[in-house]
Amino acid sequence: MSKTIFTIFMFLVATVHGKKMVPCFFVFGDSLVDNGNNNDRDTVANANFLPYGIDYPNGPTGRFTNGRNVADFIAEALGFADHIPSFATANGDDAVVNGTNYASGSAGILSETGKEFGDVISFDEQLQNHQTTIARITSMLGSSRAAKKHLGQCIYYVGMGSNDYAAYTMNPTRPSPDQYASLLIDNYSLQLRKLYGYGARKVAVFGLGSIGCVPAAYYMYGTLCMSATKTTSGVFNTKLRSLINLLNQDLVGAKFTYINTFGIAASKNSSFEYPNLECCTVTPGGTCVPLGIVCPDRACFAYFDGFHPTEAAAAVLAKRAFAARSPSDAHPFDIQHLVHAK
């Protein structure tokens, strides 16, 4: 039996016996879920060095945290035995059996976002990479019809926009919050519709978190932290939730859902002993100093560096995205119900 046939056979066995809730899981996003796509690119937006990965079984992998990220925890909740491979390392077998992670640190909805940090992979480019994956799946399954049926059963994670707002805050001639949010949402709508056109049907779209209250921004905003966040990410999130409703109305068979990252983060961070402090020694840019000092009590911190959550904080967000604790956590349904949505 050839390797390819054996792989597909094992995939079918796993599906039949219920080891996985869905056949595959695809991840699109930025540094919150990047698991190594930036490692070998010409960019300073990477995390393939200690203390990043200090608590991950394989050590530093390119994840911008001490251990697992949100996508890793969701993959585990969906029943995957292994975390989803990065596009940079995935092969054809991986694409069929588990899925692919396309996320790239510093990437955004707008193609130009993050380019000042080097060769990062925008959402548009991530969608192009997904086409490469679809071609692999089509070749392995034998037809585009089989591939589309397969893709329609998978779960898709999409989380973009934080870096677009980082660029927005540094733009001296920036438009109003409403104008900028509309610009992003218009682009996002086209991109999410394109993903639907590629075969995606069950898509969890994560809203922006409390981007004005990360440790790196906290010292800048001080007591204005929450106000500054609400006038930027809050406007975007309101429009994004409306977009999710529109996509579900417009697209036949579409099951998009909105994950209220901001609301979950606001409540979860209050449960940490250190909700606004970074765990590692950081550079002026807010990332961990290579081989720098790191706190020993990482489970007590909401943030690992100046921008990114610890593994402990990522676990809380993933748990509530997967199984909502409050009706406001997800709309119209959480990920476990998205799996069974018809």
Q: Which fold has domain 3-340?
A: Rossmann fold (3.40.50)
- Residue 137 structure tokens: 């799946």
pLDDT of residue 15: 40
Instruction: Check if 111 is active-site.
Output: no
pLDDT at 138: 93
Burial class for 194, CB neighbours closer than 10 Å (0-12, 13-18, 19+) = middle
**Is 308 marked active-site?**
yes
Q: Where are the domains of the chain?
A: 3-340
Q: What does the pLDDT read at residue 1?
A: 35
* Residue closest to 308 by CA, chosen among 216, 245, 242, 190: 216
The first and second tokens of residue 307, run together, are: 């921008």
In tens digits, the chain (342 residues) has pLDDT values of 333 333 333 333 344 444 899 999 999 999 999 999 999 999 999 999 999 999 999 999 999 999 999 999 999 999 999 999 999 999 878 777 799 999 999 999 999 999 999 999 999 999 999 999 999 999 999 999 999 999 999 999 999 999 999 888 778 788 988 999 999 999 999 999 999 999 999 999 999 998 878 888 776 665 546 455 556 788 999 999 999 999 999 999 999 999 999 999 888 667 899 998 999 999 988 999 999 999 999 999 999 999 999 999 999 999 999 999 999 999 999 999 999 998
Report how far residue 95's alpha carbon sits from residue 151's, in angstroms, rounded to the nearest whole number. Answer: 10
pLDDT of 57-73, one tens digit each? 999 999 999 999 999 99
Specify whether the backbone of 236 is left (phi greater than 0), alpha (psi in -120 to 50) or beta: alpha
Q: How far apart are the first and last CA of the chain?
A: 36
CA Rg, the chain, in Å? 19
Residue type, 261: T
Instruction: Return the amino acid letter for 269.
Output: N
Region of residue 199 (left: phi > 0; alpha: psi -120 to 50; beta: else) = left
Tell me the C-alpha to C-alpha distance, in Å, between residue 272 and each of 143, 149, 262, 302: 50, 43, 16, 6
Which is catalytic among the residues 55, 93, 94, 305? 305
Catalytic residue, chosen from 30, 31, 122, 210, is: 31
pLDDT digits (tens, 9 = 90+) for 210-237: 887 888 877 666 554 645 555 678 899 9
| Cβ neighbours, 10 Å, residue 203 | 22
Residue 40 falls in the annotated catalytic set: no
Phi first, then psi: give them for residue 231, nearest 5 degrees. Answer: -80, -5
Cβ partners under 8 Å of residue 322, min gap 6: 73, 74, 77, 334, 335, 336
The one catalytic residue in 86, 93, 308, 334 is 308
Contact by Cβ (8 Å): 333, 339 = no
Indicate the pTM of the whole model.
0.93
Say what the pLDDT of residue 217 is: 79
> Which tokens sit at 4?
């390819």
> Dihedral through CA 178, CA 269, CA 74, CA 33, nearest 10?
60
Note the pLDDT of residue 11: 38
Strand pairing of 25-29 and 155-159? parallel
CB hemisphere CA count around 207 (13 angstroms): 33
